[in-house]
Each structure stands twice: as structure tokens, then as C-alpha cells.
Chains A and B, each alone.
Chain A
């Protein structure tokens, strides 16, 4: 059976959920061979094996952390040459898209980014994408070379599928360009204790209607009651009410949760671009004409300062 290379997104050995989703898709095409790079790479093996990796290629060279993107391209290319896979799949992130692009160029292959589904097809994998702010769905194939595809978070279920997951050290010779861009310092993001925005099953967002940083507590209280991540519109971020890392939309994060609750958000096209593929959409807005209601499965026309705290209380009451 053909092998499929899967790039592993992990933090010090803790595999992030989108990688496990990619393993589910990879198994539709062939046998997943995982590539884990950087500090803690070997520690990913047990989780990857549980989810179908037949092999885990690891490399923990310092260059992988000390320089931007290119060392990882060198490593992934080394894995590609060793395995000769039928396809290369990566969980979408800013880094992974750049790694994928440079790899595709080097191996003279086509690249598809931000797939929301991948299936085996007669002429290789078929990738589904959601484009133009999710107003269109396209199905594409790679016409030349080995398909390189990045997959958006929440595009597939995580499935247990135990496999050998034998660990093998990947030997990498770094290219001259690998040390071109130095990472002088790195400040890890502080954990809020809430789920990761792109991975969360529920996202509760606030926009300009929240009207001040101090009021975001209302949004957070609802999020915490639901075990949700907190999102924000660009208007709220630009006003300095909430960090840019929480921005949902074209220039922020793209989310695809089971449930998205938009509070005081009008639903501009650039915001929709980042949340329109959510399964269920709920909106609270005092303007009945707000475009967000066109997307909403359930909408409340009303003042969020009344509706949201009441909702939070009611959930608490129902949970007993």
C-alpha cells in the first residue's frame, strides 16, 4: 500500500489535534508515515501510533527551532526522498503553508492549501476547499507531481486506529539557505486555560457591540460555561479590547466549530470568511438588519448586555 507523509504539528512533544484529524484523512489514501521535527519530536510517537502512523520519522536538530521555516523544508524533503510517498499532508497553519509551498516547488509538485476534506480519487487525492468567504465549494486535484495538501482544523474526526508507529531518526543535511532567517527570540503565548481557537468545538465571539475591553467578561463568562474558545471581530481587536490572536476572519483565524455564537458582530464579508463553515451559527445583535442573521441558524434581535448574561445564567441553571 502507498505511503502518505504527514507533517506533525506539536508543542514539545504534545501533538496538536489537527494533526490527528489529518491522520484520519491520510488513512483514506495510504499508510501514514509521520514526520515530527524539533524538540520533543520522539515523544509524539505514542499518540501518532494510536491514530494510525505506521512509522514516525523524527529529527530534533537545533536548527529547526533557531531558524525560520527552511530547516523544516529541508527535513520534510529528506523524508519525502526516503519514503517516496503518494501524497504529503499537513495541518494548516501559517508555518505549515509556507513549508508545504517550498517543498512543492522543490519536488516539482502541485500544492493545495486549506482543504476541508480529502478523498482518494482515480487520479490521486481529491481535495475539497471552501472559497470566496465560503460562498463556493471547489474540488481540486494536483495535476503534476506528488500532491502536497494542507488541511484546515476540524475537517475530519479524530479516530483511534492503532499502528506500529516505530520511531526512526531522520537524517537531514541542512541547505545553505536553512540558516537565512534567524529566530532571535521567541515569546510563547500565555495560555488562557480555554481551548485553542481553531480547534475548539464551540467559539463565542464578540464584536464592536461589546463596546469596551471591560465588557468582554460577559463573552468570556458565556464561553467558560460552554467550555468554548473566545473570538473577536477585527473591530473589537483594532479598538484594543481583545488580543489579535483571537481575531476571527480573513486576516485572523479561520474557525470551523460545531457551534459559533456571534455577539455584537455585523457579519462583514471578511469576518464571514473566517467562520462561515461553522456547523451551527447563532447571532445576538440589536439590529434586525445585520447581515450576520442571513447566516444564523438561530438569532436573537436584542441587546447583548441583556441576552448574553441571561443565556449564561440559564445554561448554569440547566446544568444544575
Chain B
């Protein structure tokens, strides 16, 4: 039996674009170009490395990339396929508009179960929401160990091990498979798609599932089903233009005078 790796990838608005909110206070995904979240490229990279390792050892392995998102989210899947993933699943449904993290984790968990998995790998956080909680939620729903925020990861002998660099300490973790893993941007640079990879990706299968395929009711997700409600979203007032001086030999002293004026010294 082939070893099944599912990598979770999110399609996000470009952080360098002018991100803003739509009238219904959801993230506007129309006006800003989207892309595969850079932090999920690290997940795809580790998924590919684990699969390559197994194949070198004579075992079979398969990497499925999974996204929950609008039509354009296919772009994120294409990118992951061109990096080398074997197949893709796109969960798309009009009723998903406005789904929050709790709802997203429900959809992901159902889709992961339907796809089958030995290990699920996600990024550390999405670059738009930046909550960093979906992997923990998915693990809770699947009832399998969560081995998250790894900056180093190894999957061998039915086990996942890795290093989690926390605030107070660096921890070496270990869990048996199946498990849900998330990796940080310290886990190793993600590869660029090769020309061959880009061509090959065009022929790779992309399955489309909707809520009924996953036995999820419309009320459980979307804006209606959301557990949180954004009441207002306001552009932060532009910072009042500061004082900019050119250093003519006294820049450090001028800065000290400013800091003293602000009572920092």
C-alpha cells in the first residue's frame, strides 16, 4: 500500500498587494492577486522529501495537495503540483464563502478522511489570517497526534519526530503515525518548479469536491456557520509623517535628543 501524504495548502491574497475587506467584512479575494501561501510551500517541500525518501527505500508514496477555497485556489494547487506533488483535491462550494478557522478545519478533516492519509503536513500559519491554529484543530477533529511547528522533521518506521523551537525551550517531539504535522519556514527552503515540473503538472489529476461530497451541511460553514463575527474593519489611520533627518555627523546626537524629548532617556 502506498504511503499517503496529504499537504494542506492555502490560496491567499498577495501580502505585498493592497489587501482589504469586502463589504461583508470578509477578506476581499477579488481585487488582489492570489498565490500559494509562501508558508505552505515549506509543507509541500517536506511532503515531497518524505515521499522521495520512501521511494529511494523501495516503498511507494503519494503526495496529495489539498485546498479549501474559491475557484482561483486552483492556482495554488497547480503550483504545488508543478513542485512535484502527485495529485490535488480542491474543495470548492459557494456555501463556503466566509468560513472561519473552525469551519475550515471541519472541511479539511472530512476531505483528509475521504482522501486517506498516513501523515498530514501543513504550513505554520496562513499569510492572510495568520492564526496558526488550523493544524491543531484538524488533529483534534481527526483524533490523531499533533506534531506542530517543526523546524526539523523526519518520518520513519511509523513515527514522526521533529524539533519545535518554542519561546522558552526547544523541544524534541515524537509521535506515531497517522499524525498531523506543521512545519515552519526554518524547515528547509522550498524548491522552485522546474520547466519539466510545470509541464507535467498540467496532466496531473485535480479532483473537485463540494460540501455534499463531504457530508457537510451548508449551515455548518460559511458566514452563517461562523463562530466569530467581525463587527467592523477600519483602515489604520496613516501614521503622522515623522521627522526624517539626514546624518551630517550629528545624526546620533539628534536621535538622542528626540528620545530624550519622548522621555525614553
Chain B 177-210 interface mask (CB, 8 Å, partner A; 1/0)? 0010000111000000000000000000000000
Question: In residues 135-158 of chain A, which contact B (Cβ within 8 Å)?
Answer: 135-145
Indicate whether B1 reaches chain A with its CB closer than 8 angstroms. no
B256 touching A182, Cβ below 8 Å: no
Task: Give CA–CA (A106, B228) in the complex, Å.
Answer: 16
Q: Which A residues are in CB contact (< 8 Å) with B39?
A: 251
Q: Are A139 and B231 in contact (CB under 8 A)?
A: yes
Q: Could you say which residues of chain B place their CB within 8 Å of the CB of A109?
A: 227
Report whether B242 and A309 are in contact in the complex, using a CB–CB cutoff of 8 Å: no
Q: A297-B239, A315-B256 are in contact. Are A177 and B227 (CB under 8 A)?
A: no
Q: Which residues of A101-141 have CB atoms within 8 Å of chain B's CB atoms?
A: 101-102, 104-106, 109-114, 126, 130-141
- With a CB–CB cut-off of 8 A, which chain A residues contact B144? 177, 180
> Which one of A24-32, A52-60, A92-100, A162-170 contacts B?
A92-100
Known contacts: A138-B233, A297-B242, A311-B252. The answer to whether A98 contacts B148 by CB under 8 A is yes
Task: List residues of chain A with CB under 8 Å of any chain B CB.
Answer: 11, 68-70, 73, 93-95, 97-98, 100-102, 104-106, 109-114, 126, 130-145, 177, 180-189, 198, 202, 226, 244-245, 250-251, 258-259, 269-270, 273, 280-282, 284, 288, 293-303, 306-315, 318-319
Known contacts A101-B137, A110-B227; 12 additional CB pairs below 8 A are A101-B131, A104-B102, A113-B132, A132-B128, A139-B231, A140-B228, A180-B144, A183-B173, A187-B171, A294-B239, A306-B251, A315-B259
In the complex, 28 of the A-B residue pairs with CB atoms within 8 angstroms, ordered by the A residue number, are A68-B148, A98-B132, A98-B136, A101-B137, A101-B140, A104-B102, A104-B227, A111-B101, A113-B133, A140-B229, A140-B231, A143-B226, A143-B227, A143-B228, A177-B143, A180-B175, A184-B173, A185-B171, A189-B168, A244-B165, A259-B264, A288-B246, A300-B247, A307-B251, A307-B252, A308-B252, A310-B252, A318-B265
Listed in ascending order, the chain B residues whose CB lies under 8 Å from chain A are 15-16, 19-21, 25, 39, 100-102, 105, 124-125, 127-128, 130-133, 136-137, 139-141, 143-149, 151, 161, 164-175, 179, 184-186, 226-236, 239-240, 242-247, 249-256, 258-260, 262, 264-265
